[in-house]
């Protein structure tokens, strides 16, 4: 687990930091973000390990949750002290970022409850804590194992990271994975970890917009791309329907055979992303009602598998499709064709 689940991969920030055509102040903000991100890697690794150990040694009988999870929002006021100062009544805050994070986090909890009958990210009504206005021109967002943190961006390459509902869905889904499949963050498991966050982040975006798989744009991070990045032809961070496209800030491989040992999970997630998107489009309809339920079943009903291989995950989704939708040959075929499309 040598990487941390920041939304923007390190190499994208490094590329901008070393770009001589960018103003020095803009390049410096990328360097600053990289240094901060590096310090959070150990925190995330330790949080995941603690969750794994506690689940094995201190697991208590599940209690019946009562109502939606508590959602709190803190502001760092551009400091790097977490969690910051709690904001009162965030749902009606005059700070647009506070209100948006409260509303979108609340909506995500509702999405998981209505679509998958899950009570918060741990399925035990865990309170959802978010910190905003982190640092100065901080170009990222992350789940650190216990809470969410959002930077405001530098206003040129990236804007406020909380403006992307798929960003919020993506990062909080790392928490769901932490409390279910418990995937490590390297090799096949790392790619699956990132892919699951993209899949559920995209589904959350589609669910809010009442979109079918055919209507969705399948872009990840489109809402946080700044004007300077757009001027260079970038429209998103990733594209689940076309992972290798040039309009992506972080183009990905499209076939499992292209994944190499040690590849950053933000890139090795390309093939399973494409498999999921392809399956959803073949099946048609609303992703969270069909293919999404299959992916959720494997994510949450398989137990802890920190080193799961993509081939194993694909096999489990094929079995889950047959189990959940025994009379729906079209959906089962969609899952199968999705994986075959990427060489699995």
Q: Which residues have a catalytic role annotated? A: 171, 266
How far, in Å, CA of 73 to CA of 224, rounded?
A: 20
Is residue 334 within 8 Å of 282, Cβ to Cβ? yes
What residues contact 89, with CB distance under 8 A and at least 6 apart? Answer: none
How far, in Å, CA of 222 to CA of 219, rounded?
A: 6
Nearest one of 173, 145, 174, 180 to 304, comparing CA atoms: 180
How far, in Å, CA of 90 to CA of 84, rounded?
A: 14
Buried b (16+ CB within 10 A) or exposed e, 267-301: bbbbbbbbbbbbbbbbbeebbbebbbbbbbbbbbe
E strand or H helix at 208:
helix 187-209
How far, in Å, CA of 79 to CA of 34, rounded?
A: 16
């Amino acid at each position: 687990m040598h990487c941390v689940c920041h939304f923007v991969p390190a190499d994208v920030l490094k590329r901008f930091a070393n770009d001589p055509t960018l103003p020095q102040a803009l390049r410096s903000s990328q360097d600053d973000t990289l240094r901060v991100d590096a310090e959070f890697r150990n925190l995330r690794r330790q949080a995941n390990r603690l969750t794994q150990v506690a689940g094995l040694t201190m697991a208590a009988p599940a209690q019946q949750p009562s109502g939606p999870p508590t959602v709190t929002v803190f502001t760092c006021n551009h400091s790097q002290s977490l969690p910051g100062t709690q904001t009162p009544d965030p749902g009606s805050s005059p700070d647009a970022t506070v209100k948006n994070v409260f509303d979108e986090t609340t909506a995500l909890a509702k999405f998981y409850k209505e679509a998958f009958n899950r009570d918060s990210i741990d399925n035990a009504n865990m309170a959802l804590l978010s910190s905003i206005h982190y640092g100065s021109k901080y170009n990222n967002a992350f789940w650190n194992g216990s809470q969410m943190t959002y930077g405001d961006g530098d206003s040129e390459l990236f804007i406020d990271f909380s403006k992307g509902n798929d960003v919020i869905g993506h990062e909080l889904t790392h928490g769901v994975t932490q409390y279910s499949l418990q995937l490590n963050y390297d090799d096949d498991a790392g790619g699956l970890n990132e892919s699951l966050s993209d899949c559920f982040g995209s589904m959350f975006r589609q669910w809010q917009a009442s979109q079918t798989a055919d209507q969705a744009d399948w872009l990840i991070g489109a809402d946080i791309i700044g004007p300077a990045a757009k001027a260079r032809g970038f429209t998103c961070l990733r594209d689940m329907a076309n992972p290798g496209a040039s309009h992506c800030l972080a183009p990905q491989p499209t076939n499992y055979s292209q994944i190499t040992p040690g590849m950053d999970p933000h890139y090795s997630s390309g093939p399973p992303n494409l498999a999921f998107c392809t399956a959803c489009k073949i099946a048609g309809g609303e992703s969270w009602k069909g293919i999404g339920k299959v992916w959720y079943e494997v994510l949450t009903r398989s137990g802890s598998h920190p080193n799961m291989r993509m081939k194993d995950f694909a096999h489990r989704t094929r079995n889950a499709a047959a189990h959940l939708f025994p009379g729906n040959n079209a959906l089962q075929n969609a899952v199968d064709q999705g994986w075959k499309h990427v060489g699995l």
